[in-house]
Amino acid sequence: MIGRMKVFLLLLPLLAFDVKAYNYITCQNGLTLDFNGGDMTFNYGDNLSGNEKAALSLAFQRLTEFSDATITTVDNGDNSYFSGNSENEIYRDTAVSTATCTYWFFSSTCEVAEADMQFGNQPWTTSDDSGHYPFGASRSLTGTGVHEGGHCVGMAHSADSYNMMGADFSHVTRNGIAAYYGPGEDLSDGLIDLHGKRSGGLDSFRDVGITVMRYTGASGEYSTHGFGAVRGFYGTTRPVVGSYVGQPMYRVGAGAATQMEITLENNGESDTETPNIGLYLSDNDIISSSDVFLGQVPSSLSRDNALETTVPVTIPAGTAPGNYFLGAYIDHDNLISETTVANNVAYYPVSIVSSAPTLTTEAASGITGTEATLNATVNPNGESSSLVFDYGLTGDYGSSADFGNVGSGSTSLVVGEPVTGLTCETTYYYRPRGDSAAGTALGTEGSFVTAACLPPGCD
């Protein structure tokens, strides 16, 4: 049959059209290329090692966990593998620089007649550890297998969000040094919309994920991704003071108000998930619910695009200086029945230094109709700190008064900063804020009411 029909051999990319953030592979007449309805069977070539076959089988299992697509592999000792032999095959090919999905299809119907996955000369690793990019020099065969498998069931590249069909080698998360490569939200969403849900609408296969990787832009038809950052209370990136297994380490202060950049994904069948994200501080790189609990934040994740967000967290003031791991654990309270929890943790290595300034809000003094002195007790805790009083008519404040530098001693002192131009008989709110190398410290909110203004000529 193939010999009687005109067949095109084409390499990715093909024509694609946007559906949400993902793309389908299409042929010249605009139809979606039909990879046997998403049910593909491949022979393993005998030039793949046992470990390589296992890593690829794991990749295909993760890829098709939530949709009605399937990739079945056959290890039959195939020693005659090449494109154009009417067999679907997976093999090593030294002519390929990285990896590709090559396929033949009927131009009139867009039905795929043959597909091959070829993996080229890369320093591949078959272990789910941190010995590969972006943490090391090698490349994960599992991660690239998810990407190429996505092509071979109908998905094209994507460049406009954090997703596996872009730069697959940096779509990753890890707990300890155990890295996890999965389809992610964008690829799962595309496969579900193209082939249907695995459980036929029962939403039995659910999964949420978290990572510190984020979308950084596009390189041609590929998205690019990079590490997020740990920031101070007002968004300034904390200083990088080292690294841990390929990831930057940030300096933060005990007692400091901090922000973590994280990316959340709803990978499963359920159209919406509402997991809680637990925030933890650990003295090792395995984040768990037995670590120091710093609080939780809720989330709502629809099945469309990865959600990049920033969550606030405060390092406990009594934390001893040293190296720690600031972790975010999605669904830490186990309210979702997930197919895997291997992608539920993300962390930043942090170097905790001596405490940020300790601030205690004191009562305002010298209050008149238009003036007042804002007071606080400050312990610099050995960190040179600039002190600012934020004040205004609401808890959003809106104005500030700069006290200046309070030095770097370790003795508490009471400071006050006068403010003028206030409105008579009005309630004002204020809060001291100290910024140091260790981070930002905040005092509690105080309030006062200005006095009545005397008529002109009265005292």
Do 435 and 313 fall within a single domain? no
Residue 436: inside a domain, yes or no?
Answer: yes
Residue 211: inside a domain, yes or no?
Answer: no
Range of the domain at 303: 222-353
Do 134 and 8 fall within a single domain? yes
Q: Which helix (H) or strand (E) holds 77?
A: strand 70-78
Do 108 and 252 fall within a single domain? no
Residue 274: inside a domain, yes or no?
Answer: yes
Residue 392: inside a domain, yes or no?
Answer: yes
Torsions phi, psi for 454 (to 5 deg): -80, 145
Do 134 and 276 fall within a single domain? no
Q: What is the pLDDT of residues 27-53, one digit of tens each?
A: 988 899 999 999 999 999 999 999 999
Q: Do 199 and 69 contact (CB within 8 A), yes or no?
A: no
Q: Do 218 and 225 contact (CB within 8 A), yes or no?
A: no
Residue 209: inside a domain, yes or no?
Answer: no
Summarize the confidence of residues 160-178 as an average pLDDT: 96
Among 353, 386, 404, residue at a domain's last position: 353
Does residue 50 sit in helix, strand or coil? helix
Question: What's the confidence (pLDDT) of residue 358?
Answer: 85
CA distances from 215 to 18, 133, 151 (A): 18, 16, 21
* Residue 283 tokens, joined: 């003295």
Question: What's the confidence (pLDDT) of residue 353?
Answer: 86
Residue 455: inside a domain, yes or no?
Answer: no
Residue 235 to residue 107: CA distance in whole angstroms: 53
398-405 and 385-392: which strand pairing?
A: antiparallel
Q: What is the pLDDT of residues 201-254, one digit of tens each?
A: 999 999 999 999 999 999 999 999 999 999 988 788 988 999 999 999 999 988
Do 14 and 100 fall within a single domain? yes
Do 349 and 364 fall within a single domain? no
Do 72 and 184 fall within a single domain? yes
**DSSP conformation letters of 234-266:** TSPBPPEEEEETTEEEEEEETT-EEEEEEEEEE
Q: What is the pLDDT of residues 88-106, one digit of tens each?
A: 999 999 999 999 999 999 9
Higher pLDDT pick, 458 / 334: 334
Do 347 and 363 fall within a single domain? no
* Residue 338 tokens, joined: 């997930």
CATH number for the domain including 182? 3.40.390.10
**Taking the alpha carbons of 128, 134, 139, 141 in that order, is the dihedral positive or negative?**
positive
- Closest among 289, 297, 292, 212 to 254, alpha carbons compared: 292
Q: Is the pLDDT of residue 314 over 80?
A: yes
Q: Is the pLDDT of residue 163 over 80?
A: yes
Question: What's the confidence (pLDDT) of residue 458?
Answer: 54
Do 301 and 369 fall within a single domain? no
Residue 443: inside a domain, yes or no?
Answer: yes
Burial class from Cβ neighbours inside 10 Å (0-12, 13-18, 19+) for residue 202 reads exposed
* Residue 428 tokens, joined: 């004002």
Residue 222 to residue 13: CA distance in whole angstroms: 11
Q: Which of 20-29, 58-67, 336-345, 385-394 has the lowest mean pLDDT?
A: 20-29
Q: What is the pLDDT of residues 4-26, one digit of tens each?
A: 222 333 333 333 333 357 999 99
* Residue 75 tokens, joined: 């290890």
Do 151 and 226 fall within a single domain? no
Among 322, 353, 384, residue at a domain's last position: 353
Do 31 and 95 fall within a single domain? yes
Do 65 and 187 fall within a single domain? yes
CATH number for the domain including 253? 2.60.40.10
- The share of the chain scoring above pLDDT 90, in percent, equals 79
Q: What is the pLDDT of residues 413-456, one digit of tens each?
A: 899 999 999 999 999 999 999 888 777 888 999 999 999 997 76
**DSSP conformation letters of 376-424:** EEEE-TTS-EEEEEEEESSTT-EEEEEEEE--S-SS-EEEEEEE--PPT
- The share of the chain scoring above pLDDT 70, in percent, equals 95
Residue 250: inside a domain, yes or no?
Answer: yes
Higher pLDDT pick, 235 / 266: 266
Whether the ω angle into residue 316 lies within 30 degrees of 0, i.e. cis, is no
Question: What's the confidence (pLDDT) of residue 20?
Answer: 58
Among 317, 336, 353, residue at a domain's last position: 353
Residue 257 to residue 234: CA distance in whole angstroms: 9
How many domains is the chain partitioned into structurally?
3
